[in-house]
Structure 1
Amino acid sequence: MEKNLHNEEAVKKLKEMVSDIRTCMMITSGKTGARASRPMAAIETDHTGNIWFFTNIQSNKIKDIELDHFVQLVFAHPGKDSYLDIRGRANVITDAASIKDKWTPLVKAWFPDGVDDPNLCLLQIKTDEVHYWDTSSSKMINMLKAAISVVAGKPLVEGVHGELNVGA
């Protein structure tokens, strides 16, 4: 079933799914135009639908973003049949106050010097386009429904997909 969500309802769904899945593959384009992907852990989805990450300012992803700020984020939780495909624009944030505001102790595993690490920065992804797929049931329930569908001759597994229009 297709269900497109808008504004606050879209942001709420985006926050819920990003929080549940947490890790995505971030895809950037390098100087040759080739795509590069790497796993990234989202730290926050804000009230406007921007997704935030901590990263190293010396990393290749930052070099790619300096050349082309368009990125794609792919979140997948196969166990729940939940998926997000996000296209947006990356901004590198080096402001100390913003870094302190978004800091979480979990980030210390990658940045042992904490908020004072000179290579620590934030990536803000301004979401332009979001597509989602989600089921309301667990994978086990869906497998049972699929088996019953074969016997009953009608589809019982229902998922929801559509666009999340988070606004400007």
Structure 2
Amino acid sequence: METQHQHNKDLEKVKDLIEDIRIAMMTTVDEAGHLVSRPMAVMQMDANGTLWFFTKKSSPKVDQVENHEQQVNLSFADVSDASYVSISGTAQELDDRAKIDELWSPAAKPWFPDGKDDPQLTILKVDTHMAEYWDSTSSRMVRFLEMARAAVTGDTYKEGENRKVYN
């Protein structure tokens, strides 16, 4: 995933947390009003906090973002580092050949066998409205010892940083 320095300095930490995760669970609303999630590879987080994805034009999520006020949630998790990010925003489908050319990677070819000229290839653009993150700055061992201490003493486990960021 390509990430760019953020214009909104508060989103810089979000960018740092998600740039190595790469896969987000994208949640949309289906035609029956149910929340549905699926893994999506982030192609780019641009300088405005916008996230860009490739998808197929025939994918149900394309209709879902068009028919349900385009609200989506993106969830990222790096369990080994105890880093978690939730991004809410609006999505739209764009048939933007220039952006496809810019973001194209051979890693996308298994999903789009005809390459960047695949007629099913389109872009999903997600504009970030709010992000919340939880991040531990301690090693796994320190986190484990702090959890054990809290369990033994009856204290609440307190570790890491939790913050909401608005764009």
Provide the TM-score with structure 1 as the length reference. 0.85
Distance 1:82 1:25 in 2: 15
- Give 2:114's aligned residue: 113
Matched ranges for 1:29-40 at <5 A: 29-40=29-40
Distance 2:154 2:65 in 1: 50
- Give 1:20's aligned residue: 20
Per-residue Cα deviation, 1:26-53 (whole angstroms, up to 9, x for no partner): 1111222111111111111110101111
Please tell me whether the aligned partners of residues 142 and 157 of structure 1 are also in contact (alpha carbons under 8 angstroms).
no
- Give 1:3's aligned residue: none
- Unaligned ranges ≥5, structure 1: 1-5
Per-residue Cα deviation, 1:81-128 (whole angstroms, up to 9, x for no partner): 111111110011111111101111211121121110011011110011
Per-residue Cα deviation, 1:106-153 (whole angstroms, up to 9, x for no partner): 111211211100110111100111111001123233113434566788
More helix, by proportion: 1
Provide the TM-score with structure 2 as the length reference. 0.86
Please tell me whether the aligned partners of residues 14 and 49 of structure 1 are also in contact (alpha carbons under 8 angstroms).
no
Q: Aligned-pair distance for 1:8?
A: 2.9
Please tell me whether the aligned partners of residues 66 and 92 of structure 2 are also in contact (alpha carbons under 8 angstroms).
no
Please tell me whether the aligned partners of residues 99 and 115 of structure 1 are also in contact (alpha carbons under 8 angstroms).
yes
**Higher RCO, Cα 8 Å, sep 6+:** 1
| Count of paired positions | 161
User: Tell me, what secondary structure is at the counterpart of 1:111?
Assistant: coil
Please tell me whether the aligned partners of residues 91 and 125 of structure 1 are also in contact (alpha carbons under 8 angstroms).
yes
- Unaligned ranges ≥5, structure 2: 1-5
